[in-house]
Amino acid sequence: MGIHFVSATADEVVAEMEIAEHHRQPYGIVHGGVHSGLIEAVTSVGAALAALARSQSVVGLENHTSFLNAVREGKLRATAQPLMRGRRTQIWEATVTDAEGRSVATGRVRFLALEAGASLAGETVKVKESSKS
Amino acid sequence: MGIHFVSATADEVVAEMEIAEHHRQPYGIVHGGVHSGLIEAVTSVGAALAALARSQSVVGLENHTSFLNAVREGKLRATAQPLMRGRRTQIWEATVTDAEGRSVATGRVRFLALEAGASLAGETVKVKESSKS
Amino acid sequence: MGIHFVSATADEVVAEMEIAEHHRQPYGIVHGGVHSGLIEAVTSVGAALAALARSQSVVGLENHTSFLNAVREGKLRATAQPLMRGRRTQIWEATVTDAEGRSVATGRVRFLALEAGASLAGETVKVKESSKS
Amino acid sequence: MGIHFVSATADEVVAEMEIAEHHRQPYGIVHGGVHSGLIEAVTSVGAALAALARSQSVVGLENHTSFLNAVREGKLRATAQPLMRGRRTQIWEATVTDAEGRSVATGRVRFLALEAGASLAGETVKVKESSKS
């Protein structure tokens, strides 16, 4: 989707995305799926970083996105912060703002924490760090 | 996202999408945002068609997507059906299945119905038909 | 809340509730929280029964309820069925109908499955069967 | 449910509730439906007060509650604040804390704003103020 990560830690993730023609639905406003996807992206990175500190990985369970204001153009900025980072699950919240700083969408994503070695879709989960080596 | 609409009426919408490399997150499974976006797309088309019959248009309020099974490759198929098509709001439900017919995600999207002439993001809403003319 | 369980298995749970004065908000219609609570109740019983067969218990993670039609009086009937009963999480869906059979609310609840012996709020989880002995 | 409102304006609503035996599910922790109901209650009052200033009333569309921590006893406190108070819809967020100040549940409720005179469940909507007279 053309997401640029500005900063990412286990406490906060910030990303930006320039609205392009293919992000708009027929009425000319940004498609809701773009907001859900952006929220999924920033919360996933945050949850994965928090999980990594425990040698865990995460998989998304539920994404609930509320659309607040229609937006047509400019740069979107998404900021994610944790609501709860447990050993079994995590919840992160993210808000998307437009170029004028208005909140245009906000959502919460619940993640399941997986121990290294857990099976997922027929493959063994590796924590991110070890998969880089 | 490369969505291909197979059929679309005010009663059911079916679309397909071939999983590509950019749909996957680092663990190699399809990103949750892809499912939320696909669900938003098929439900939006159905709700817009149902609204059109009343000279209304729709705008998404809430997208709630549940992730059921991890999927890595192949063709995704999303099928949307209405739960309620009211004069003020509509709710549509969509389920995404993989190439083997397993349900991989399911979601519900709530839409606000707008009368023609309503103001949205600083512009006047036209119903889809008239905007084509 | 005065919920009467009609039937309950790991495949389907049905419960009924007579609308009483304290279930109504000031406009005279049944309070949304009653629907959310009823949906939580029937889905929880179903998920607990499905978990019990694996010597697991469940705890709710997310309850998402959509309100479809306002209802003022009569008997409510809630029917819950599983969307997914995994070893790690379960999702159940429930729909509430009124005395005329109209759907008035529908919701989905995600549950985390816990192994016997897991710690929850400072106490050890026992599976339901053993806690009866 | 035994909810006591501490304060209520169009900007913030606070309520408290003492946990009683009938609020607990079989494992001894507070039932998720209690949290959803408490969140519905405080957000509804806030949205209704904000609507009243425009001679509107509100009806709930979606309640999405996330359960954060299990709680067994003591006083629950719910605080609701608006995320968006539009002319067509409102979104309010509420968090429930326990006696030790831990967040135990958090949720968002979307409301549809109705003009006075709108029809709801076969009756004409009156704004709250006029219904008191």
pLDDT for residue C22: 82
Q: Hey, which residues 63-82 in chain A have their CB within 8 Å of chain D?
A: 64, 66, 68-69
Distance between CA D77 and CA D98 in Å, rounded?
A: 6
**Among B111, A103, A109, residue whose Cα is nearest residue D83:** A103
pLDDT for residue C24: 84
Neighbours of C5 (CB within 10 A): 13
Closest-CA distance of chain D to residue B12, Å? 22
- Output the six-digit token pair for D85: 């108070």
Distance between CA B41 and CA B35 in Å, rounded?
A: 10
- A13-18 and A3-8 beta bridge pairing: antiparallel
Distance between CA A26 and CA C2 in Å, rounded?
A: 48
- Helix then strand then coil, % of chain C, to nearest 5: 20, 45, 30
Catalytic residue among C40, C73, C100, C129, which? C40
* Yes or no, beta carbons of B83 and C103 under 8 Å apart: yes
pLDDT for residue D54: 94
Q: E strands along D1-133, which residues?
A: 3-8, 13-18, 56-67, 75-85, 89-97, 103-115, 119-120, 123-124
Distance between CA B106 and CA B99 in Å, rounded?
A: 16
**Tens digit of pLDDT for each residue in A7-45?**
999 999 999 999 988 888 777 888 899 999 999 999 999
* Yes or no, beta carbons of C61 and A64 under 8 Å apart: no
Q: Complex ipTM, two decimals?
A: 0.88
Distance between CA D11 and CA A50 in Å, rounded?
A: 33
Compute CA C87 distance to the chain's CA centroid, rounded to the nearest angstrom.
19
pTM (predicted TM-score):
0.91
**Among B79, B67, B74, residue whose Cα is nearest residue B14:** B79
**Tens digit of pLDDT for each residue in B63-79?**
999 999 999 989 999 99
pLDDT for residue B123: 58
Q: Which secondary structure element, helix H or strand E, spans residue A52, and what is its range?
A: helix A32-52
Distance between CA A33 and CA D12 in Å, rounded?
A: 31
Query: Catalytic: C40?
Result: yes
* Regions in chain C scoring below 70 on pLDDT: 119-133
**Tens digit of pLDDT for each residue in C99-124?**
999 999 999 999 999 997 776 655 56
Which residues of chain C make contact with D133, given a CB cutoff of 8 A?
none
Which residues of chain D make contact with A91, given a CB cutoff of 8 A?
66, 68
Asked if residues A23 and A31 have their Cβ atoms less than 8 Å apart, the reply is yes
Higher pLDDT, D81 or B21: D81
Q: Hey, which residues 37-66 in chain A have their CB within 8 Å of chain B?
A: 37-41, 44, 48, 57, 59-66
Compute CA C9 distance to the chain's CA centroid, rounded to the nearest angstrom.
13
DSSP-derived secondary structure letter, A31? P
Lowest-confidence pick of A120-129, D57-66, D101-110: A120-129
Which residues of chain C make contact with A110, given a CB cutoff of 8 A?
61-62, 110
Homologous superfamily assigned to A3-132: Hotdog Thioesterase (3.10.129.10)
* Yes or no, beta carbons of B63 and A62 under 8 Å apart: no
**Tens digit of pLDDT for each residue in D4-59?**
999 999 999 999 999 988 888 777 888 899 999 999 999 999 999 999 999 999 99
Confidence of residue B94 (pLDDT cuts 50, 70, 90): very high
β-sheet bridge partners, residue A57: A114
* Yes or no, beta carbons of D112 and B88 under 8 Å apart: yes
Which residues of chain C make contact with D121, given a CB cutoff of 8 A?
29, 69-72
- Output the six-digit token pair for A64: 């609930």
* Yes or no, beta carbons of C64 and B108 under 8 Å apart: yes
Chains interfacing with A (3 or more CB pairs < 8 Å): B, C, D
Q: Which residue of D has its CA nearest to A64?
A: D64
Which residues of chain D make contact with A83, given a CB cutoff of 8 A?
66, 68, 103, 106
Q: Hey, which residues 91-130 in chain B have their CB within 8 Å of chain A?
A: 109, 120-121, 123, 125, 128
| Interface test mutation site (partner D, options B88, B111, B125, max chain D beta carbons within 10 A) | B88
**Residue type present at position D100:** E
Asked if residues C71 and C64 have their Cβ atoms less than 8 Å apart, the reply is no
Closest-CA distance of chain A to residue B113, Å? 14
pLDDT for residue C131: 34
- Output the six-digit token pair for A14: 């910030």
**Tens digit of pLDDT for each residue in B78-91?**
999 999 999 999 99
Per-residue burial over D34-61, b if 16 or more Cβ lie within 10 Å, else e, is bbbbbbbbbbbbbbbbbbbeeebbbbbb
> Which residue's entry shows tokens 């539920």?
A62
Q: Does the pLDDT value for residue A52 go beyond 90?
A: yes
DSSP-derived secondary structure letter, C10? S
- Cβ pairs B/D, distance under 8 A: 19
Q: Does the pLDDT value for residue D122 go beyond 70?
A: no
Catalytic residue among D40, D73, D93, D123, which? D40
* Yes or no, beta carbons of A110 and C112 under 8 Å apart: no
pLDDT for residue A132: 32
